[in-house]
Structure 1
């Protein structure tokens, strides 16, 4: 009986550990390229539960020769931000607002930590997330910490599955700037996936070290 139950559960376990590869066409990615006028930087997003204060999800924005968001095992998408294995291209200011607003809601807030880096460091981070591949569910923290530890200046980031553990480590990087984003939107964000126009989220400057 025990072997029978294990045999039934095994496909479910394997399914949970399987990534969902997505590969947008070359022309879509080329058309979406956005080059931000802001200095090269790496930004860590941490989604925090407003009730339990637990970390729920991690994502990474890299502003290099183009600006992209690495959202491992994430659910956000937009038709004008083509995706390749969890890397979303074309992160214009509007797309960034959409991404933040999708995650900040009545049950979660977003901690946004940014460190300015050299162009070479930003390009290194961009290459790493592009080469990472699709990430299985519940592995966002592991993939984010693994990528960051390979970037010059971020080797001290702890290897962890926990978004808040990574957030605290990122908060120790010299020059980090931290913001917290709150929103009172309803928890069901399925309608946000068809975003056309949205008000800009509320940004609150915070001390450099996040708790």
Structure 2
């Protein structure tokens, strides 16, 4: 009974990742929109943190390798110019990285970015994993992200968790992590933020 109550509490807390995307772009559109960053290969974990309670609302993983994508499991970020398939957002240029963070940051949440420079092999493994994972059920965003990280060489010791803050705290202990916190003070939800960021 206690376990069932705990799981209900987890699902209630993770309202930020409770939407499963109905959008599935064609492979042609995905290929046409691919964006390759000129910097080193990287993995970046985004954690949306409640400004009032300090609890986590959503987790996502950006992979920058042979192309840059955001694995947004059960996320609510959508724009017609960003192809999406299986909870992976494609064509992630610097402008779309900023739009993604801006859409999630508001008076009630800020976005923590934890960036790791990795080898090309690590980045390609992560890219393969997020692309083959498929859509994620609501409230499983952190579970899916931690599971993917565990399968990337060098990140096998990441513990599985449903809690965004627990994953964030684990990653903060790893060597080489570069952490950034992004704040905005507007109102509204993710989709309102997307419109504002592109305005």
TM-score class normalised by the smaller sequence: 0.7 to 0.9
Aligned counterparts of 1:196 and 1:138: Cα–Cα separation in 2: 25
Which of 1 and 2 has greater Rg? 1
Whether the aligned pair in 2 keeps the contact of 1:44 and 1:60 (CA below 8 Å) is yes
Aligned counterparts of 2:157 and 2:126: Cα–Cα separation in 1: 15
Q: Which residue of 2 aligns with 1:7?
A: none
Whether the aligned pair in 1 keeps the contact of 2:103 and 2:192 (CA below 8 Å) is no
CA RMSD of aligned residues (A): 1.7
Long gaps (5+) in structure 2: 1-17
What TM-score results when the alignment is normalised by the length of structure 2? 0.86
Whether the aligned pair in 1 keeps the contact of 2:69 and 2:92 (CA below 8 Å) is yes
Deviates more, 1:189-198 or 1:176-185: 189-198
Q: Which residue of 1 aligns with 2:42?
A: 41
Per-residue CA distance 1:84-116 (angstroms, 9 max, x = gap): 011000000111111000001100001000000
Displacement of 1:18 after TM fit? Answer: 9.8
Q: SS in structure 2 opposite 1:100? A: helix
Whether the aligned pair in 2 keeps the contact of 1:21 and 1:134 (CA below 8 Å) is no
Displacement of 1:79 after TM fit? Answer: 1.5
Aligned length: 182
Aligned counterparts of 1:41 and 1:23: Cα–Cα separation in 2: 25
Aligned counterparts of 2:52 and 2:114: Cα–Cα separation in 1: 21
Q: Which structure 2 residues correspond to residues 47-86 of structure 1 after superposition, within 5 A?
A: 47-86=48-87
Q: Which residue of 2 aligns with 1:9?
A: none
Displacement of 1:187 after TM fit? Answer: 3.0
What TM-score results when the alignment is normalised by the length of structure 1? 0.82
Q: SS in structure 2 opposite 1:184? A: coil
Q: Say whether 1:140 aligns with 2:103.
A: no
Displacement of 1:196 after TM fit? Answer: 6.5
Q: Which residue of 1 aligns with 2:128?
A: 127
Aligned counterparts of 1:196 and 1:188: Cα–Cα separation in 2: 12
Aligned counterparts of 1:96 and 1:146: Cα–Cα separation in 2: 23
Aligned counterparts of 2:166 and 2:197: Cα–Cα separation in 1: 34
Aligned pair in 2 of structure 1 residues 175, 20: CA closer, same or farther (>3 Å)? Answer: same
**Which has a greater percent of helix?**
2
Aligned counterparts of 1:56 and 1:116: Cα–Cα separation in 2: 25
Q: Say whether 1:153 aligns with 2:154.
A: yes
Whether the aligned pair in 2 keeps the contact of 1:21 and 1:84 (CA below 8 Å) is no
Q: SS in structure 2 opposite 1:52? A: coil
Structure number with higher relative contact order (C-alpha < 8 Å, ≥ 6 residues apart)? 2
Displacement of 1:195 after TM fit? Answer: 5.2
Q: Say whether 1:168 aligns with 2:131.
A: no
* Displacement over 2 Å in runs of 4+: 17-23, 187-198
